[in-house]
Amino acid sequence: MEIQIKPMAAQHAQDVQRLSEQLGYPLAIEQIEDNIRKVISAKDNSALVAIADEKIVGWIHGFKAMLLETNPFIEIGGLVVDENHRGKGVGRKLIERIKEWSLETGIHDIRVRSNVKRKEAHQFYRNNGFTETKEQKVFRLKL
Ligand SMILES: CC(C)(COP(=O)(O)OP(=O)(O)OC[C@H]1O[C@@H](n2cnc3c(N)ncnc32)[C@H](O)[C@@H]1OP(=O)(O)O)[C@@H](O)C(=O)NCCC(=O)NCCS
């Protein structure tokens, strides 16, 4: 299967929405499109789609995280591969591109937060050279 990686564009909103639902994040198409426009025009962000058989089969979003107490790092904000195209190297290719972009921006540290329930994703990250550094709880305040 030939996999092409391309920059994400607003016209990909429908596919991004479909895949985001598989990730467990259903969102209105208008909101997804707005998010894409903002992300792709923002500095220090990289959003990519994977194309196979002329269809979008995955996406990834990485961004530069600036915290006070650590050196800057790239965080993977989201990654999903279509459930019918998993296990074929699509996720690895998306990660490879984010690694290249990270090095281009001079950052040698990539991090990802992954729900403790996503055991398969954890194995995926291990197989792609990531090591587990900590478990954490996420707190949220809705206003
Ligand atoms: C996790 C995910 C992105 C992996 O994408 P993928 O295209 O299926 O992965 P690849 O085919 O590129 O696999 C790359 C490596 O990870 C391993 N891997 C991938 N999925 C795996 C699974 N379910 N269980 C065990 N290992 C897995 C592969 O075996 C391969 O390793 P190897 O070549 O050393 O054998 C995909 O399964 C997915 O979208 N899952 C649902 C959403 C999700 O959990 N996203 C991550 C949120 S943090």
50 lines ligand 1 (CB under 6 A): no
Residue of minimum CA distance from atom 48 in ligand 1: 114
| The pLDDT value given to residue 95 | 98
| The pLDDT value given to residue 46 | 98
CA of 81 to the centre of ligand 1 (A): 8
Average pLDDT, whole number, for the chain? 97
Measured in whole angstroms, the distance separating CA 91 from the mean position of its chain's CA atoms is: 9
| CA-based nearest residue to 40, from 72, 17, 11 | 11
pTM for this structure? 0.97
Q: How deeply is 110 buried, as exposed, middle or buried, from its count of CB atoms within 10 A (0-12, 13-18, 19+)?
A: buried
DSSP tally for the chain: helices H, then strands E: 4, 5
Domains of the chain with bracketed CATH: 4-127 (3.40.630.30)
Give the tens place of pLDDT for each residue, 72-125.
999 999 999 999 999 999 999 999 999 999 999 999 999 999 999 999 999 999
Q: What percent of the chain stands above pLDDT 90?
A: 99
Q: How is residue 16 written in tokens?
A: 């991004």
CA of 139 to the centre of ligand 1 (A): 27
